[in-house]
Structures are given as structure tokens and as C-alpha cells.
Structure 1
Amino acid sequence: MSTDSPHLTLTIDSLAFGGEGIARDNGRVVFVPFTAPGDVVEVRITEAKKTFARGEVVQVVTPGPDRAAAPCPYYGPKRCGGCQYQHLTYEAELKAKAGHVAEALTRIGKLTLAAGTIEPIVPSPQPYGYRNRITVHRSENGKGDKIGFHRAESHDIIDIPHCLIAAPEVNDALGALRRQELAPKRGRAVNFTRPTHFSLRHPDLPPSAFHQVNLFLLGPLRDLVAGWVGTGRRLVEGYCGGGFFTEVLAPHFASITAIEFDSRSLRDARRKTLINVAWIEGSVEECLGAALAASGAEGTDALLLDPPREGLAPGVVTAILAAEQPPRRIVYVSCNPATLARDGGKLSARYTLARVQPLDLFPRTAQVESITLWELKA
């Protein structure tokens, strides 16, 4: 059937990064959100191009084996935009995310992966109730009649009294906020970032610094990174945040230079009083070259990078590749397979990708964390 028709009956083959199902109609790829591999769906085309189209589900004709009932009443098309995978079994979500990491590295990064390079994905012990922080929004009229999350692809607010992926303590803070029992000066559970935006955090988190979100995988993530970074004389860490990794790495290196642009995060990091760590406030792009050069003739044993979703700024990659004594190994932690692959393709000029460890830090959403180990070529 041609995509010129208003409705198509399609079979979903796989999932694209971001969560949309992929089907094909006469050679044209059709992206359909909220579908699962194996689904037979009736689809209305909403956008048609020469090489691809997008559509929305009119009805699920035959559900595939990976489809599951979403437990959240706010989940689905044109509803809350926070989750993308609640309609999948958790096993199918893990398989899709592992595939997205591998595909990005080979397709975007143009990297050849030896057998066994990618480890099996580490699942979250619980796919719900894991987030230690969320940001909620109040309707712009200022009356506070709606407090919740943005509708998908919209600035509209969906009123949400309870978030299934948030930890119980965070939902307690959300409930208190909704009852207007919390104000900006009544404790750190609520941090007003903008007049109608509220950051709700687990009480164990520092009030300002960025922090990894999955309560159940904080320990495994830190242990894996520490194991891959290893030990040595000198470590340079870019995007150190509040010192989440620095704290466990400090006993294993004679000296660490830790770079962070955000002054609030660095203030939290300095409270750790790590005597062998030099905290540098500034952008990694501007500071990394000097930090690597300061290692002298002995060089830098390891470089740890944990950038935001945008990945490494161009100057960061340039500083690494141009270093007279480049780091012997790089551990790059990423929450975006596409920017990881982009940066990895550039790093491959001097480094070999030795290991990849995907972790599902963000169950029920399209995001996936990856730890990668890069070794300096001889």
C-alpha cells in the first residue's frame, strides 16, 4: 500500500534510538512511536518525505511479543513526555538499548568492534521508583493549578500527582509541593530553578550539584568506572561535577586534577576535602590542554571524561589528540550514544576502543548510559 494513503497497516521490525518503532512500506522507512517489535498496527501518516515517513497508531491490530501494558495513567501519545518505553517488556527495552549503543558506534563513529568489545547491558534492579531527582513545572498562569510534566512535544503541563519512575522520597516531595507545604526556604528538598520550575531531590543528594539519577545503580556505576580507570601516578578528570567519581578514585592515584565549569558543583566537590585533588574551575575545553601538559615527561596515566549529553566540545578532542604526552587510557562515560560515537570516531585516530559497558540508568526512557575504555595505540 502506498504512503499516499491516509492509513497503512504495517509490521514493526525494530526500534530506533529515541523509541520510535521502525516499519517499511514499499522501501520507505516509517517511524511510529509507541509501538513494539512484532506489532501489526494501523497507522495514519502524519509526515511524508522521499526517504521516510512518520505516523501515529490508529489501532494495534496484532500486538507483538514485546508489547506490555503501561502501568502509568499519564503514558502514551500526546501525554507525558518523560517516558518512551513503558509499552515494552523490560527485556525488550534492554535489548533495544544495547543495540542502539552498538549501532551508533559502528554507523556514526565508523568504528570496527572486535567480538566481545561490548559487554551485556547492566539492567536496573528496578525499572520503576529509581529516580533520585525530577524537575516538575507549574502552569504558566501562576495559580499553581497544574504541577507536573510537559506534554510530549509541547509546553503544556500535564497535572501529575505521582511519578512512577521517581523514588518514594521524591514523590513525597512532589506531594508536599502540590499541597503547597514547601517553600524555597523550607529545606533542600525543593530548589526553585525558575519561577514555575521546581527541582525535587532525594534528601541524600546535595542541593545543587549534578548527580547520577538511578538510586540502584550508583554503586555499580562508580565501581565499574573505578575499575576501568585503574591506578597510577596521575589522573585528569574532566566534567568532575560534585566529585562523584573523584571520591572513590582519590586513594588510587598520587595526584588528580579535576575540572568542572559549574561553581555550585565544584563547591560540593571541595567539601570532600581530598588532599591529593586539585580542583580547577573552568571549561574542560579551555583547561584540559594545560592539565595534560602539567603531567610532564611521565605523562597522564588516565583521563576520565563524563560530559553532558552534548558530548565533548571540539577543543577537548583537539587537546587530547595534540598532547605531547597523551593519556595512556581514557574512560569516557556517556548518556548519549550518538555524541559518544561522534567523539569516539575522532579519538580513534590515536586510541583503540577496548571495552564498552552499557548500563540502563534510565529505565522506561530512551536514554542509555555507556562506559567506554580507550587505549593509546602503540
Structure 2
Amino acid sequence: MSTPKPQLKPGDIIDCTADALATGGKAVCRVDGLAVFVQDGLPGQKMRARVEKVGKRFAEAVMVKTLSEPDHPAEPFCPHFGDCGGCRWQHLDYQRQLYWKRRFVADSLQRLGGLDCEDLVEQTIPSFDMQNFRNKMEFAFSDQGPALHLGLKRRGSELVMNAEHCKLMPEPAMDIVQTVREHCRASGLPAYDRTNGSGVWRHLVLRRNQRGQFLVHLIAGKGGKLDQVIEPLAEALLARFDDISTITLGIRSRRDKLAQAEESFAVHGSGFIFEEMDGLRFRLVSDSFFQTNTPTAQQLYAQVLNMADLQGSEYVLDLFCGVGSIALQLARHAEEVSGCEISKQAARDAKVNAKANGLDNCKFVAGDVLKLLKNERRHPDVIVTDPPRSGMKPQVLERIMELAPRRIVYVSCDPATLGRDSRILSSKYTLKKAVPVDLFPHTPHVETAALFEMN
């Protein structure tokens, strides 16, 4: 009788070699016939890892030590790499990043969608820029040790590190962060504490348009002598940085992690900036939903337009439309476009953007997408949908199929939910192609434009 293989258990230290990456970016290793997913590992890399969780068919582990280089290494360009929670793939060759993002999309469509799609998933469109590509970043405050911290979360932790260098947003972004950190420290006001709702400083949000203008947005809790602090801070920022167009102060009282204000006030300027994309102009406030990599988003939207194949006579529904960044592109090629968006502020901004761009064939409605779809009495020729990471509810998908558009263009930020939703759509629609687009270099995240046509 053969001796049974020992079973892994939490706390075990194992040596293993990664042979692939799973959707989401974890390395896949095989230990005693069990799939072990290891955070931060790369294919070809031998590593020592500590088992954290064991299930019937897989285990999860965290890397303790690297024992060899991966198959396609790259030299990290940031001194904070490894400590900072972002840019997990800086040590992976960029062409391999693109390869794995395509694999994530194809594997999810096959495994979760049940689709034979290997030949339908195109090569990943690379980011226009490898660094300095973000138009928005969020930074967190925290009281740690003797001084107030303002920066980015440490990897695998809620602790905040004072990031001095970051190549995701063009300068003078990090100099602005440093100035805000210094003045908030000097104020003597503490960081917000979510456990008891005390304290003041919560987040700093920076937006930058392609003209180089910044929107600086501070988010604080209620209380504290903010009126005595915010004006001197604004004056210091404006004296040092000519690129700052507007400064806003937001108040949030809920005890959560969201970097969104419940009410906002313009301290300097209009409270918004304008961004231009493909000849269109968009007004953006601090928490407007707008793709964070503007040049590459233009390539994503070009794919959407190509898939929609508009001839000028179509009625188009744009679901989860945000500030209208896709809807306005569509409106220049369709007879009429209706946008649906849960955020009232975003729907208002979309209306303003349509008017500013001289597009009177658009209408935007704020509310729950399912309710709006149930009230839709026309049959759209094309539906474009750009849902959140959680994808679409089955009822939304069923209602879309009842409306029976000839084409559905699905813009996804999560291959797993795209695969799941594709399985439901496949009862009436055929996937024609999927195009991954890399809006987030050096991370496992990938956007996808997928075209479905009625059977």
C-alpha cells in the first residue's frame, strides 16, 4: 500500500516554482498535486512561500523569499517597488505583461464563459506610455509614529508609506504631495481614524489633464479648524506651483475607505478642470469617472467605435456612461444616444459635456440601470456597456437581450466578470472578437472591448 502524500496546512513553509499566472496576477505553482497561488511570484521563478489558506482544490500562499529569477525579468524603475502596494509587475518584462493580460481574457472567456474563443482574442494593445500615464491618483493620510503620513498604502497592509517618488503621474505631482504633507503636519491636526470617527485628514486626490493643469482635492472629516488651515495651504500651493488650476476641499463623515467627498467646496478656481480627447472636451471634478490613462483610453474608445459600426441612423444605449466619455464619441456617428448612469453628478456632467461639444442628439438619465432598462420602450440598434468590476446583474443581461440590439459592445475592467456575463449572453449572442487594452502598465489589470452580435 502506498503512503498517502502529506497535506499542506496553514503556516507550512514550501519551496515551489511558478509555471503560470492566474487571472488577477497571482503565480500558479504545483505542490503535491495541489495548485498553490502565490502573491507576487512570476512564471519560471522558484520561491519560498508560507501557506496561508488551504482548500480542497487549491491553496494560497505569500512569498517569503525569492530563490531564482523569473523567465522574463525587468529592472524595477521605482525605489519604492516591493514596499508600495501598486505596480506589482515592474519586475516583469513589458511584452510578457501584455502576453499574460491577453491570456487572462482568453482563459476567462473559455473557462467561465464556456466559449471557444482562442482565435477571437486579439493581442493586447500596449499603453501609449510606460510611465507618467495616470491622470488621477489618490493618496491616503495616516498617523504613524511621531509624524503625520501622506502617501500610498504598503503592500498587503493598511499602513501608509510616505512615497517620495512615483513614476505613475507626471511631475510636479509628487512635489505637490510633499507640500501638502508638510503643511498638514504643521497644522497639528491629526489624520482621520476610521475606528472612532475622530481626526481630520483623510485623502488627497490629484487630477491632471493633458495640458498639464492640476486639480488638487483634499478630503477631511468633520471637525477641526479647517477654515484656519485650508486657505494658507492653498496659498502655499499656488505660490509654488503654476500648474495648479483649482483647489477643492471635500468633507466625508462616513467611516469607510472611499476617497469621495459627501460635499465639496472650491477653495481656489472653478472646482473642475477640462480634459480633451479625440476632439471632445470633458469637464471633470475630483471624483468624476474618467479612464485614468487618457492617451490609451482613446485607443480603447476607437475599438468601441469600430465594434459599434455606426452608420448614422442608429439609436444607441450607453450603460454606466459616467461623464459621457463613450456616449459623446458614439453621438458623432449615430442618430441618437441615451446614456444611463447611477451617479447624479456624473449624469449632470455628461449633459454639460454634450452641450459644450454641440451634441444635441444625446440624453442622459441618472438612476439604477435595471430600472432604466425596464422603462426603455425603444429597441436600440446597439448597446454599449461599461459596468463596474462586479459586472452586470443577471436581470440586466436578461433585459438587454429582451431589447434585442443587433450588437452589444461590452467594455470590461475584469476578465472574470466578462467571462461570467458572456455565458449568459451566449444564449442569444455570438462573441465576434475581444481586444484587451493595457490602461494600467505594471499591474495585472486589463481593460477589454468585446463585440457580441445577435445569433
TM-score (norm 1): 0.88
Deviation for aligned residue 1:85: 1.2
- Does structure 2 retain, via aligned residues, the 8 Å contact 1:41–1:58? yes
1:288 is matched with: 373
Please report how far the alpha carbon of residue 161 of structure 1 lies from its aligned counterpart in structure 2 after TM superposition. 2.7
Taking the aligned partners of 1:244 and 1:125, their CA distance within structure 2 comes to 18
Q: Report the identity percentage.
A: 31
Partner of 2:437: 359
Which SS does the other structure have where 1:252 is aligned?
coil
| Paired residues of 1:238 and 1:288 also in contact (CA < 8 A) | no
Cα distance change of structure 1 residues 287 and 173 upon mapping to structure 2, 3 Å threshold? farther
- Looking at structure 1, the residues matched to 146 and 450 of structure 2 have their Cα atoms a distance apart, in angstroms, of 47
What CA distance in whole angstroms lies between the structure 1 residues aligned with 2:107 and 2:59? 21
Structure 1 gaps, min length 5: none
CA contact (8 A) 1:9 1:42 kept: yes
Task: Pick the aligned partner of 2:346 from 255, 265, 271.
Answer: 265
Describe the superposition over 1:312-338 as per-residue Cα deviations: whole angstroms up to 9, x where unpaired. Answer: 123211211233xx1110101010111
**SS of equivalent residue, structure 2 residue 67:** strand
Distance 2:412 2:272 in 1: 23
Whole-Å Cα distance in 1 between the matches of residues 306 and 177 of structure 2?
37
The corresponding residue for 1:72 is 78
Residue pair 1:354, 1:374 contacting (<8 A) in 2 also = yes
**Gaps spanning 5+ residues in structure 2: where?**
185-215, 219-229, 235-244, 261-270, 276-283
CA distance in 2 between partners of 1:218 and 1:139 (Å): 33
Structure 2 counterpart of 1:347, which letter?
A: L
Structure 1 residue 335 corresponds to structure 2 residue 413: yes
Q: How far did residue 284 of structure 1 move? A: 1.0
Conservation of the 8 A alpha-carbon contact between 1:133 and 1:202: no
Task: Tell me what 1:221 maps to.
Answer: 300
TM-score when normalising by structure 2: 0.74
Determine whether 1:308 maps to 2:388: yes
The reply to whether residue 16 of structure 1 matches residue 95 of structure 2 is no
CA separation in 2, counterparts of 1:75 and 1:41?
18
Once the two structures are superposed, the pairs formed by residues 6-45 of structure 1 within 5 Å of their partners are: 6-45=12-51
Change (3 A) 1:316 1:49: closer
Give the drift of 1:193.
6.3
Q: Which amino acid aligns with 2:157?
A: S
Give 3-state SS (helix, strand or coil) of 1:112's partner: coil
Q: Write the deviation string for residues 180-233 of structure 1: whole angstroms up to 9, x where unpaired.
A: 39775756455646479767x995451142000113302212222112112132
Query: Is contact 1:169-1:202 (8 Å) kept?
Result: no
Equivalent residue for 1:278, pick from 363, 367, 370: 363
8 Å CA contact retained: 1:30, 1:52: yes
What amino acid sits opposite 2:139 in the alignment?
V
User: What is the DSSP-based 3-state SS (H/G/I as helix, E as strand, rest coil) of the residue aligned with 1:164?
Assistant: coil
Q: Which moved more, 1:218-227 or 1:333-342?
A: 218-227
Q: Which moved more, 1:223-232 or 1:49-58?
A: 49-58
- CA separation of 1:368/1:278 partners in 2, compared to 1, >3 Å: closer, same or farther? same
Report what 1:55 is aligned to. 61
Paired residue type of 1:36:
L
Structure 1 residues 144 and 275: alpha-carbon distance in aligned structure 2, compared to 1, 3 A threshold: farther
The aligned counterpart of 1:321 is 401
Which of 86, 108, 121 aligns to 2:90? It is 86
**Amino acid in the other structure paired with 1:29:** A
CA contact (8 A) 2:23 2:416 kept: no
Code of the aligned partner of 2:71? P
**2:422 counterpart (316, 338, 344):** 344
Which letter does structure 2 place at the counterpart of 1:263? K
Partner of 1:62: helix, strand, or coil? coil
2:138 matched residue in structure 1:
135
Report the CA distance between 1:247 and its aligned residue: 1.6
Residues 128 and 165, structure 1, Cα contact 8 Å, conserved in 2 = yes
1:177 aligned partner, one-letter code: V
1:249 is aligned with what amino acid? L
Residue 109 of structure 1 is matched in structure 2 by 113
CA, structure 1 residues 59+367, in 2 after alignment: closer, same or farther (shift >3 Å)? same
Deviation for aligned residue 1:271? 1.2
In the alignment of these two chains, the number of paired residues is 367
- Are residues 369 and 197 of structure 1, via their aligned partners in 2, closer, same or farther at CA, if it must alter by over 3 Å? closer
Return the offset for 1:344: 1.1
CA 305–143 in structure 1, closer or farther in 2 if over 3 Å, else same = farther
Deviation at 1:7, TM superposition (A): 3.2
Mapped pair 1:253 → 2:334: yes
Answer whether contact 2:351 2:363 (CA < 8 A) is retained: no
1:192/1:198 contact within 8 Å kept: no
Q: Which amino acid aligns with 2:125?
A: V
8 Å CA contact retained: 1:138, 1:197: no
Q: What is the alpha-carbon distance in structure 1 between the residues aligned to residue 107 and residue 123 of structure 2?
A: 15
- How far, CA to CA, are the matches of 2:375 and 2:333 in structure 1? 22
User: Relative to 1, partners in 2 of residues 1:86 and 1:193: Cα closer, same or farther, differing over 3 Å?
Assistant: farther
Structure 1 residue aligned with 2:102, among 94, 98, 106? 98
- Once the two structures are TM-superposed, the CA of residue 103 in structure 1 deviates from its matched residue by 0.6
Give the distance between the partners of 1:50 and 1:304, measured in 2 at CA: 39
| Whole-angstrom distance in 2 between the partners of 1:193 and 1:128 | 32
Post-superposition offset of 1:142: 12
Once residues 223 and 180 of structure 1 are traced to their aligned partners in structure 2, the CA distance between those partners, rounded to angstroms, is 43
| From 171, 175, 179, the counterpart of 2:174 | 171
For residues 393 and 349 of structure 2, what CA distance do their matches in structure 1 show? Answer: 24
Name the structure 2 match of 1:152. Answer: 155
